[in-house]
Amino acid sequence: MGVINKSERDAISKSLIQEPINWQEVLSEIISCFDCTTGTIHFLDENTSILKLQAHQGIPPFLIPKITEISIGKGMAGIAAERLEPVEICNLQTDDSGVARPAAKETKVEGSIAVPMLLNGALYGTFGIAKPVAYDFTKEEIKELLELGTEMSRALHPHKN
């Protein structure tokens, strides 16, 4: 699957200007555009520096309490937030890098990526998507995901454009 097409991108952009924004819908559209099955969106709580779950899809119910709040530097989302760059694992089931938390394997996904939501260098959160098969996201897909992260950040804080 290549970079998402214009109509898919337009659908995401349209979702991001709704009042209020339906973050579950935004996530579902991103998951669909990248042919994934699972995903999360976390917003950064500026007061606590904790990533807080805003939307999720395809996550087993018993894992939700473990991903409701994520510390910067912990797990894929936390590391993406800490590094301010995407963190990718080709196969979460066989990965032994220590980047993904042990419970992450319970999602049964393989190819996964966590992307920081950045605007003007500031972190607003992270989002992640994953496929049920081993997969390396292309440079073009990663660029598109980073652009979506910026657009999501802008939607969260329109006064900081």
Question: Do the domain assignments include residue 107?
Answer: yes
pLDDT in tens, 4-53: 788 888 889 889 988 899 999 999 999 999 999 999 999 999 899 999 99
Q: Which residue has the tokens 């394997």?
A: 105
Question: Do the domain assignments include residue 1?
Answer: no
**pLDDT score of 8:** 85
CA pair distance 144, 142, nearest whole angstrom: 5
DSSP 3-state of 78: helix
CATH code for the domain in which residue 143 is found: 3.30.450.40
Q: Which residue has the higher pLDDT, 70 or 102?
A: 70
Residue 29's domain spans which residues? 6-160
pTM of the model: 0.90
Alpha helices in the chain (DSSP H): 6-15, 23-33, 64-67, 75-83, 139-156
Cβ atoms of 141 and 128 closer than 8 Å:
no
Listed residue (123, 70, 140) closest to 99, CA to CA? 70
Question: Do the domain assignments include residue 63?
Answer: yes
Helix, strand and coil in the chain, % to nearest 5: 40, 25, 35
When divided into structural domains, the chain yields a total of 1
Question: Do the domain assignments include residue 24?
Answer: yes
Question: Do the domain assignments include residue 73?
Answer: yes
**pLDDT score of 91:** 59
pLDDT in tens, 123-151: 999 999 999 888 889 999 999 999 999 99
Q: Which residue has the tokens 């309490």?
A: 65
DSSP string, 11-39: HHHHHTTSSS--HHHHHHHHHHHTT-SEE
